[in-house]
Amino acid sequence: MGKTKGRDVAEAVWWAPDVGGLDELGVALLALLAVMIVAVVVIPLLLFGIELVLLGLLVAIGVIGRTLLGRSWIVCATPLAQGQELGWRVVGWRRSNRLIDEVTYSLSAGLDPSPAEPAELIRAA
């Protein structure tokens, strides 16, 4: 066991893998770039996508729960000419869609909206 010379110490400290020629160096740099892109771009996009999927599931569960439990929907409309806000409380998804269509048609025709759907007028201010 002899003493190491200064050159041997310098080689041990400044060791780098032998990548061969420029072709292998280019492949190594491209691999490093691909790893960086995955780490910086792809993984955060996947995590954000998971959050959006969870949000969509929560909204779907809320809509299904509201429909199955028979909770009422509030349909609001603001005629441009009068500036007053109108609101109706209606039970059911389809009834609320029909009410929206009726009120839209009445307001666009310049008529006072009085829907045929069973709905309770809650706002006329």
SS (H, E, C) 38-51: HHHHHHHHHHHHHH
pTM, 2 dp = 0.46
**Residue 68 pLDDT exceeds 70:** yes
**What is the reported pLDDT for 43?**
84
Contact 19, 25 (CB under 8 A): yes
Task: Please tell me whether residue 18 adopts helix, strand or coil conformation.
Answer: coil
Residue 103 scores a pLDDT above 80: yes
Q: Is the pLDDT of residue 6 over 70?
A: no
The mean predicted confidence, pLDDT, of the chain is 79
